[in-house]
């Protein structure tokens, strides 16, 4: 995806979201814009140094965001999961823990809280 295009789309995303997600696509159909995000392959801090490897993604979640110029905006979010190479334990990032961290803006924490509440994570 063109860097200028990504820079433009970034302005419409919740602050801080690109620390954890990459933009993998943008689609505009009718009056809806869908921004597809994929969690970066960066193991949560608490598991660093342990033998985990990426094991794909959880099913994508659709989250409605603020409208832009009369267009409905939907974020399609793919969260990553990792597998412990010896025990087979599957983990994913604990978003409840992340939002307590100091890197989060209030907007991004509220965004994640909304995802958690809506989807029961």
pLDDT of 67 reads 81
What percentage of the chain carries pLDDT values higher than 70? 80
How many separate domains does the chain show? Answer: 1
Tokens representing 76 are: 């399609």
Q: How many CA atoms lie within 13 A of 52 on its CB side?
A: 22
Q: Is 11 helix (H, G, I), strand (E, B) or coil?
A: coil
- Give a yes or no: residue 119 inside a domain: no
**Residue 120 is assigned to a structural domain of this protein:** no
Q: Residues 93-116: pLDDT tens digits?
A: 876 544 454 344 456 667 767 777
SS3 2: coil
Q: Which domain holds residue 49?
A: 3-113
b or e along 35-46 (b: 16 or more beta carbons within 10 Å of the residue's beta carbon)? bbbbbeeebbee
* Main-chain phi, psi angles of 117, to 5 degrees: -65, -45
- Of residues 107 and 43, more confidence is placed in 43
* pLDDT-wise least confident of 20-29, 44-53, 56-65: 56-65
User: Is residue 121 situated within a structural domain?
Assistant: no
């Amino acid at each position: 995806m063109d860097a200028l295009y990504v820079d433009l789309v970034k302005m419409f995303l919740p602050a801080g979201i690109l620390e954890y997600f990459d933009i993998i696509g943008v689609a505009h159909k009718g009056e809806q814009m869908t921004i597809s995000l994929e969690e970066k392959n960066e193991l949560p801090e608490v598991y660093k140094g342990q033998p985990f490897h990426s094991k794909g993604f959880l099913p994508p979640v659709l989250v409605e965001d603020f409208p832009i110029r009369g267009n409905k905006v939907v974020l399609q979010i793919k969260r990553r999961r990792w597998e412990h190479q010896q025990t087979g334990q599957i983990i994913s990032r604990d978003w409840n823990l992340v939002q307590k961290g100091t890197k989060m803006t209030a907007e991004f924490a509220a965004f994640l809280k909304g995802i958690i509440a809506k989807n029961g994570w």
